[in-house]
Structure 1
Amino acid sequence: MSPDTRLPRDAQSILELAARSMFDLFANASEGMLLVDRAGRVVWINDQYRRFLPALGYEREEDFVGHPVSSVVQNTQMHQVLETGKPILIDLLTNRAGTFVVSRIPLRDEAGEVIGVLGIVLFDHPETTLQPLIAKFARLEQDLNDARRELASQRRAKYTFASFVGTSAAAQEVKRQARRAAQSASPVLLLGETGTGKELLAHAIHAASPRAGRAFVGVNMAAVPEALLEAEFFGVAPGAYTGADKKGRDGKFKLADGGTLFLDELGDMPMAVQVKLLRALQEGEIEPLGSNKLLRCDVRVVAATSRDLAALVRNGQFREDLYYRLNVLPIRVPPLRERRDDLPLLVEALCEDIATRGATAHLDLEPAALALLAAQPWRGNIRELRNVLEQLALRSDSPQISAAQVEQVLRDAGQGRIEPAMAVPAAVAAVVPVAATDEDLRPLPQRIAELERSAIAAALKHTGGNRTAAARLLGISRASLYDKLGEVSEIQTTV
């Protein structure tokens, strides 16, 4: 210990004596001590520490002393104290010899330079000597892990492509484009009227992408006040402004790092935020509010809007450079009136969900009621359709729903003109019970097998016997096609 010239000689002597006494106290009262030099080599251990050598894997002291501490003591932090010069007064160390409560103290020369580190093993059985503290730590760690899992589950995609109900050509094309987009890292722009399922598709794209295991974070531009949008996007540095959280707050970009950021109602984004968003997308960097540090962020953007972005660009209400940055993979989600054949399936799926959530009976719509629903323009699309079905479920005493009941709900909802019911569409007729024939009453597996044979034969004929092309046409893998050909080998002789 270097003498302190500011102290009287007597005081200096007392300080040196105190230092020696403290060293002797730790040497005798602790469970072990070791000393490393400025190069990180072990240069000394006391008698108590020698008893740990066999458990650490060393029979002789010379196999331990003289070697780098990081190579002979697993999980040590002595090198960190050497580098920073800051002590680690209390820490838990686990290695081959067990779990210990340790302290690490830097040693300095007369010039104040770190010349070594003293490591002290305070307790060698913390599970008993520090049981209350360790139990509290374990509970806090468990609570933290539970909170992290809960947060992670909330930030995962809620829907997959199976959630996008529909077999019409329009619905199939949307899903085809979205599946291709899921495998790309480029931004996706979902275009379509409100209520068509753009948010559902955004979830599905994330769930089918390589980022599916990371966070899905959404921001609705229309729901966040303009003054808060920058903080919502990029976060807030600690103490950035009066009333700000002292610990700071992560923005949506940081929360979505490694995952997908969903920008809903993109057309409502203020111009001031558009500039910073463009930079974040181009540079992959964000600057939290009140900070002068840039943070790297890796996010894949999926945006959605019900507005005409091209018109907004022409009118100067949306930045042209940001438009081209986001409009890389545009996908138009068709309105319900362009996929009327999907209405029976949508009604079935929505009624099932309504019954499950509300613990009510599953609605059973008469053919005329379905035909009346199919005839309406559905300005609110699937969201409006769901609202009508929920009203029917709450207002009807019976699960059987007639066309008159549907018409009444539509009128009460303020719909100015109710279109007359169409002739029952083929898709509706397919789910409406009709008189069964002997042909209809054959075993279902037999009828399905015949349908498969017919479809495979038609596909092979259309592709000139090219099985790969036929599998693609049928929407199945080539391996699945080969399996089915093995089951119905007679197909091969028909083409």
Structure 2
Amino acid sequence: MGRLKDPDAIRRIAKKSLFEGLDGMCEGAIIIDRDAKVVWISDKYAARLGLASPASAVGKVVEDVIPNSLMREVVRTGEPMMLDIMQFGPDSFVVMRVPIKDERGRIIGAAGFMIFDSLKHLHPLVSKFQRLETQLADTQKTLAEERRVKYTFTNFMGSSPAAMETKRQARRAAQAETTVLLLGETGTGKEVLAQAIHAASPRAHGPFIGINVAAIPDTLLESEFFGAAASAYTGADKRGRDGKFVLANGGTLFLDEVGDMPMGVQAKLLRVLQEKEVEPLGSNRVAKVDVRVIAASSVDLRQMVSMGRFRSDLYYRLSVLPIELPPLRDRIGDLELLCDHILEDISRASGRPPRELTPTALAVLSAYSWPGNIRELRNVLEQVTMNSDNARLSAEEFSLVLPRLAPASRPGDRPTLRLADVVADAERHAIKSALAAAEGKKILAAELLGISRATLYQKLSALAPARGDRRH
């Protein structure tokens, strides 16, 4: 048997075979011309519609045969309707409608197929669609929750003058639309404050997107910020992706450790801040964005500007509202409150009863300089609670951690290892810090220390050196 080689002949046979196959598999078929008049209807379709015979429908406009039919719309638009539900009296049919074109591509009519005569055949498809819809809604909900802030101003705890001034400035910044620059040592709570500013701002309903510049390789930072078109990628995954600016549209973008940004990306960030539009990597199209930027740095950006490592124009654009977060050593009066909160967190996470600090333990903690600030404080408390079964954590238990963390001794001094000396030094340092924070006001210093004024006077008297011991 010879094989058919003429492509046109193969196409004609395929079309005929396809139509006959659909007609055989479906519950009925109908064809109309470009004037929407019926030119043919299958016996099965005529019977389903309750017609006397197929011939009785030929020559009639399709709406006279099938009220509310959309076949005319397919002829008019040339667009198929691949899956639809058609109501005919009390019955519902699942139908498909496709345009018919001639050799020159002109619309000359349309064909309709009754795929199912009962909606029950769609139940598996509808169920799958509903499952996908539910999964999509759950994913969108989870994503929205991840982009919702976890912290407000109540999470930036402290009643010391330094902490209160920081919160005052941050609350004022929340009501503005300009960029904010948070400055402070690592572990001082810059991300907590950034989220609090967003939560108290008019943008609170929008997303909060955070990115740690120091954690992203320089080669990927541009696409992380601005996104990438599909043509920018090679390999198996060539899909484009949105950048953090697009994801944060209508909300706030938090750029942590902005001082680690390479100079090339700094120039592009400056343009986005000025023009309010981003151009994805590998694309020549720009997209408008409405984003408020909060930047943070644990390094001195002014010094980096003088060293030529940070653009001065970007620095001035970011530092419209600079806020400096105080280190923990400058707000020792907040230490007890912070410890209580952290110990409660540890208790919830571990499922163990909450712990407390003895006065001597608090004094020892108050004497330490905390170069890692609140993050280091949490680490120390976690270490001690992990190794202790006591409800009240004492100075003795902290001595396993604190001696190697204590401030360096003065040259020529022997290290202080006796617990009594550590506690005395801790109390002296805590009182000195409280007096400094209270600007010498003893009543306020006593409140910061959580002791009475009489107790403060007693400790000041006990800690004062004897007159004979004074050095000249």
Same fold (TM over 0.5): yes
Residues 471-491 of structure 1: CA deviation (Å, up to 9, x unaligned): xxxxxxxxxxxxxxxxxxxxx
Match of 2:426 among 420, 424, 434: 420
The 8 Å contact of residues 71 and 112 in structure 2, kept in 1 or not, is answered as no
The residue number in structure 1 matching 2:188 is 196
Q: CA separation of 1:429/1:315 partners in 2, compared to 1, >3 Å: closer, same or farther?
A: closer
Q: CA separation of 1:23/1:368 partners in 2, compared to 1, >3 Å: closer, same or farther?
A: closer
Match of 2:265 among 253, 260, 273: 273
The 8 Å contact of residues 81 and 104 in structure 1, kept in 2 or not, is answered as no
Q: CA deviation at 1:376?
A: 2.5
Task: Say whether 1:430 aligns with 2:450.
Answer: yes
Task: Say whether 1:333 aligns with 2:339.
Answer: no
Q: Of the two, which has the highest radius of gyration?
A: 2
Alignment of 1:1-150 (within 5 A): 18=16, 25=23, 29-30=27-28, 85-88=78-81, 90-91=82-83, 101-108=94-101, 112-113=105-106, 122-123=115-116, 125-126=118-119, 128-150=120-142
1:318 counterpart letter in structure 2: F
The 8 Å contact of residues 235 and 249 in structure 1, kept in 2 or not, is answered as yes
For structure 2, the residue ranges without an aligned partner over 5 or more in a row are: 1-5, 50-61, 410-421, 435-444, 456-472
Match of 2:356 among 352, 364, 375: 364
How far, CA to CA, are the matches of 2:113 and 2:334 in structure 1? 73
The residue number in structure 1 matching 2:233 is 241
1:266 counterpart letter in structure 2: V
The 8 Å contact of residues 236 and 248 in structure 1, kept in 2 or not, is answered as yes
The 8 Å contact of residues 240 and 290 in structure 1, kept in 2 or not, is answered as yes
The 8 Å contact of residues 274 and 319 in structure 1, kept in 2 or not, is answered as yes
Q: CA deviation at 1:306?
A: 0.9
Residues 341-377 of structure 1: CA deviation (Å, up to 9, x unaligned): 2122111111111221123332221223223322332
How far, CA to CA, are the matches of 2:30 and 2:176 in structure 1? 57
Q: CA separation of 1:78/1:209 partners in 2, compared to 1, >3 Å: closer, same or farther?
A: farther
Q: CA deviation at 1:239?
A: 4.7
Task: Say whether 1:308 aligns with 2:308.
Answer: no
Q: CA deviation at 1:108?
A: 4.7
The residue number in structure 1 matching 2:343 is 351
Alignment of 1:153-172 (within 5 A): 153-172=145-164
Q: CA deviation at 1:272?
A: 1.2
What is the SS of the residue equivalent to 1:262?
A: strand
For structure 1, the residue ranges without an aligned partner over 5 or more in a row are: 1-5, 52-63, 436-495
Q: CA separation of 1:176/1:225 partners in 2, compared to 1, >3 Å: closer, same or farther?
A: same
Q: CA deviation at 1:401?
A: 2.4
1:279 counterpart letter in structure 2: R
How far, CA to CA, are the matches of 2:74 and 2:203 in structure 1? 35
2:450 counterpart letter in structure 1: A
Match of 2:393 among 401, 404, 420: 401
Q: CA separation of 1:249/1:20 partners in 2, compared to 1, >3 Å: closer, same or farther?
A: closer
The 8 Å contact of residues 392 and 405 in structure 1, kept in 2 or not, is answered as yes
Q: CA deviation at 1:309?
A: 1.2
The 8 Å contact of residues 222 and 265 in structure 1, kept in 2 or not, is answered as yes
How far, CA to CA, are the matches of 2:311 and 2:75 in structure 1? 52
Task: Say whether 1:285 aligns with 2:277.
Answer: yes
Q: CA separation of 1:244/1:166 partners in 2, compared to 1, >3 Å: closer, same or farther?
A: farther
Q: CA RMSD in A?
A: 4.4
1:420 counterpart letter in structure 2: A
What is the SS of the residue equivalent to 1:132?
A: helix
The residue number in structure 1 matching 2:176 is 184
How far, CA to CA, are the matches of 1:114 and 1:36 in structure 2? 7
Q: CA separation of 1:111/1:36 partners in 2, compared to 1, >3 Å: closer, same or farther?
A: closer
Q: CA separation of 1:111/1:148 partners in 2, compared to 1, >3 Å: closer, same or farther?
A: same
Q: Sequence identity of aligned pairs in percent?
A: 49
How far, CA to CA, are the matches of 2:75 and 2:288 in structure 1? 29
The 8 Å contact of residues 255 and 296 in structure 2, kept in 1 or not, is answered as yes
How far, CA to CA, are the matches of 1:184 and 1:129 in structure 2? 58
How far, CA to CA, are the matches of 1:387 and 1:92 in structure 2? 62
Q: CA deviation at 1:214?
A: 3.0
1:137 counterpart letter in structure 2: F
How far, CA to CA, are the matches of 1:383 and 1:316 in structure 2? 31
Residues 124-183 of structure 1: CA deviation (Å, up to 9, x unaligned): 643x11222222222222222222222221221111111111122322222222223223
How far, CA to CA, are the matches of 2:257 and 2:127 in structure 1? 48
Alignment of 1:376-387 (within 5 A): 376-387=368-379
Number of residue equivalences: 404
2:96 counterpart letter in structure 1: S
How far, CA to CA, are the matches of 1:311 and 1:114 in structure 2? 72
Alignment of 1:457-468 (within 5 A): none
How far, CA to CA, are the matches of 1:132 and 1:163 in structure 2? 49
What is the SS of the residue equivalent to 1:420?
A: helix
How far, CA to CA, are the matches of 2:100 and 2:247 in structure 1? 42
Q: CA deviation at 1:110?
A: 7.1
What is the SS of the residue equivalent to 2:323?
A: strand
How far, CA to CA, are the matches of 2:259 and 2:220 in structure 1? 17
